Chain A
Amino acid sequence: NAGVTQTPKFRVLKTGQSMTLLCAQDMNHEYMYWYRQDPGMGLRLIHYSVGEGTTAKGEVPDGYNVSRLKKQNFLLGLESAAPSQTSVYFCASSHDSSGNTIYFGEGSWLTVV
């Protein structure tokens, strides 16, 4: 029962490096999301997708890009990492737009030095 799987789980980057976080879901969900979680600030939506081939900006999209080429995968890219992007990143997927059908991955810890 995989649910939502994120890779990698931990990563340390140097300022200016690029990387991609991969999210995979096996529940055939249409909606997928990338959030970041910082101490005391709750979860903030970076980008989301309402279906294969679609993406949209969330609350804090600057410095990130996403792609949803396959329904089950949602990729989050950092083109030029900055220390302000040090955070825990959560991918989520949902059957519909309601918050009661959303499932989260276990998180990816990213440190930018």
Chain B
Amino acid sequence: EDQVTQSPEALRLQEGESSSLNCSYTVSGLRGLFWYRQDPGKGPEFLFTLYSAGEEKEKERLKATLTKKESFLHITAPKPEDSATYLCAVQAGAAGNKLTFGGGTRVLVKP
């Protein structure tokens, strides 16, 4: 059974204080690992896809990396508008088109 675990559950940062979120996974035949951002009262929005170990993707202050067992979402010099819940999900070969989500990390960036 595919499993995704995110840590920490919550993260409080000062504006400009860089940090990383972790997504650990166990899957059989990884097809892709996905990061989403979810604002309060909204649905998740797609951020990145990573397909193989060593791959990196960047968007503004966010950088996602992937190893064979985990993914990191690095937030560099965060701003208050980066406050959100960040979700990680995996798609495995045996699961077809089904995504398995982690519990998310709630990030609060204080000015």
Contacts and interface: CB of A to CB of B under 8 A. Distances in A.
Interface string B61-105: 000000000000000000000000001010100001111011110
A85 to B, nearest CB: 19
B25 interface: no
Interface residues of B, number: 24
Contact of A104 (B9, B45, B91): B45
Task: Give the interface size class of chain A.
Answer: 20 to 34
Main secondary structure of the interface of B (DSSP, over half): strand
B100 to A, nearest CB: 8
Contacts of A44: 101
Given A42-B87, A98-B32, A99-B99, A106 B42 contact: yes
A105 B103 contact: no
Interface of B: 4, 6, 9, 31-32, 34, 41-46, 49, 87, 89, 91, 96-99, 101-104
22 contacts: A41-B103, A42-B102, A43-B44, A43-B101, A44-B101, A45-B98, A59-B98, A90-B43, A90-B44, A94-B97, A96-B97, A97-B96, A97-B97, A98-B97, A99-B89, A100-B32, A100-B49, A102-B99, A103-B43, A104-B43, A107-B42, A107-B43
Interface of A: 4, 31, 40-45, 48, 50, 58-59, 90, 92, 94, 96-107
